[in-house]
Amino acid sequence: MIEKRVLLVGSSFSAAPILFALKKYGLKVSVCGKAPNDPCHQYADDSFYVDYSNSDELISILESEKFDFLVPTCNDFSYMSCAKVADKYKLPGFDSFEIAATLHTKDAFRAVTKNLSIPAPQFIEVNNDQPSDYTALRFPLLVKPVDSFSGRGMTKVAEKKDLPKALQDARETSRSGKVVLEEFIEGSLHSHSAFVQDGRVAMDFFVDEFCTVYPYQVNCSNHPSSLSDQVRSGVRDSINLIASSLGLCDGLIHTQFIASQGNFWIIETMRRCPGDLYGSLINFSTGIDYADFFVRPFIGMRLPESRPQMTPLFYGRHTISVERPLVYFSFSQTIPAEQVDFVALKGGGEKLGIAPFDKLGILFAQFKDKESMFSIAPNLADFVKIKQPGVQHD
């Protein structure tokens, strides 16, 4: 039997569970990414050290190497390049490039929510340096690049005088130079990870999320969620409406939203895998192999008919990051939990940059009950100390 080949587009630590899920099926896995020291290159059958944000590089590799499958990883550059190439070669697991661009571009996605009457913050597109119609929105506003991730280039603006600087920062972060303004919604932040099959949500997970170091990057989260059944049902119905209206193919659709007093507002959605080992949080809590579910559509497989059914364990996740750069020596944690697992991303003596551009590692904490989880998970950063010789940092 001829061994089938798959190109995994992304080489970071967050992509490792995806690589191992592919290996489980006996596939020959090649990895694409320009950093030779990235973890996935060490596990791959072979590697291509290229900038995968350039879709022409991927096309060149596919034409010369004859891969059977193409699998994206955990950032928008990977997914969008893959979607463009998959559209050309009709590879499984991807919507058309037009649909992919609609879902992953903030202004286009906002148009979808508006047309479908799905709850979302009011917004306007900015086509010049000083928007003329921002008065239609209520301050405070969020200024966002249309194509950013991890909150990069985003600014909360309380007054008109602060708009020019925020617009400049957003434009400089955006590859396209395009920006949106949207009304800031007060409420709690959550995510909805849903696996769509035959046009509807077949399985989903809700997670509570918190940003305690960098304002728009999640660094603490927990599963199961504190959300009411009413909000869960409303969000699920909205995703079903998006899936049916856009004709989405089988696979993951991951959404962030704000909730308050039984209401919700969809912020953004994506078809790529969320980063920072989000899937491991789901795996620890539920026993579901999230990475396996993610890769299946890209290799022509459906979701398994038989799925683990277990009462979720109470888990929190914490991405360790800092507000000022330092040279990492060691760290300690005093999380009052039943068990704590740690995935290291830095070694002693390595430089640790500021959030949202760098991180030390990721903690997973199991709690004895939901009350402990809901109390401690939002504040996990308070239980971690990063140490340097003669200096102690929070």
pLDDT of 127-152, one tens digit each? Answer: 665 555 666 788 888 888 876 655 67
Helices (H), the chain: 16-23, 39-43, 55-65, 76-89, 97-104, 106-115, 163-173, 229-246, 278-286, 290-295, 370-376
Class of CATH domain 188-393? alpha beta
What secondary structure letter does DSSP report for 297?
A: G
What average pLDDT does range 62-67 have in this prediction?
Answer: 92
Least trusted range by pLDDT, from 70-84, 216-230, 304-318, 334-348: 304-318
The pair of structure tokens assigned to 142 is 């969020």
The three-state secondary structure class of 209 is strand
Sign of the C-alpha dihedral, residues 315, 219, 77, 34? negative
Least trusted range by pLDDT, from 97-101, 160-164, 199-203, 341-345: 160-164
Higher pLDDT, 226 or 167: 226
pLDDT tens digit string along 295-333? 999 999 999 987 777 899 999 999 999 999 999 999 999
Q: At residue 17, what is the residue type?
A: P
Q: How many CB atoms lie within 10 A of CB 35?
A: 11
What average pLDDT does range 199-221 have in this prediction?
Answer: 95
The pair of structure tokens assigned to 251 is 């696979």
Task: Say if CB 335 and CB 128 are below 8 A apart.
Answer: no
What phi and psi values does residue 28 have, to the nearest 5 degrees?
-85, 115
Residue 2 CB contacts under 8 Å (≥ 6 apart), including other chains: none
CA 293 and chain centroid, separation:
16
Helix axes 229-246, 97-104, angle to 10 degrees: 150
What average pLDDT does range 119-125 have in this prediction?
Answer: 88
CA proximity to 277, closest of 79, 22, 31, 20: 20
Confidence of residue 215 (pLDDT cuts 50, 70, 90): confident
What average pLDDT does range 198-204 have in this prediction?
Answer: 96
d(CA 265, CA 249) in angstroms, rounded, equals: 24
d(CA 176, CA 159) in angstroms, rounded, equals: 26
- Delimit the domains of the chain by residue range: 5-91, 122-183, 188-393
Stated length of the chain: 394
H/E run at residue 267: strand 263-270
- The pLDDT assigned to 356 comes to 87
Q: At residue 219, what is the residue type?
A: N
User: Residue 2, class by beta-carbon neighbours within 10 Å (0-12 exposed, 13-18 middle, 19+ buried)?
Assistant: exposed
Question: What's the whole-number average pLDDT of the chain?
Answer: 92
Torsion of CA 224, 225, 231, 235, to 10 degrees: -70
Q: Which CATH architecture has domain 5-91?
A: 3-Layer(aba) Sandwich (3.40)
d(CA 287, CA 264) in angstroms, rounded, equals: 28
Facing residues of 204 across strands? 194
Task: Say if CB 156 and CB 184 are below 8 A apart.
Answer: yes
Higher pLDDT, 143 or 48: 48
pTM: 0.91
- The pLDDT assigned to 132 comes to 53
What phi and psi values does residue 152 have, to the nearest 5 degrees?
-70, 130
Confidence of residue 174 (pLDDT cuts 50, 70, 90): confident
- In this predicted structure, the answer to whether residue 16 has a pLDDT above a threshold of 60 is yes
Class of CATH domain 122-183? alpha beta
Higher pLDDT, 351 or 165: 351
d(CA 159, CA 225) in angstroms, rounded, equals: 34
d(CA 126, CA 136) in angstroms, rounded, equals: 13
H/E run at residue 66: none
d(CA 236, CA 242) in angstroms, rounded, equals: 10
User: Can you give 221-241 as a three-state secondary structure string?
Assistant: EEECCCCCHHHHHHHHHHHHH
- In this predicted structure, the answer to whether residue 392 has a pLDDT above a threshold of 50 is no
H/E run at residue 303: none
What average pLDDT does range 143-171 have in this prediction?
Answer: 79
d(CA 38, CA 35) in angstroms, rounded, equals: 6
What average pLDDT does range 352-379 have in this prediction?
Answer: 96
The three-state secondary structure class of 138 is coil
- The pLDDT assigned to 133 comes to 62
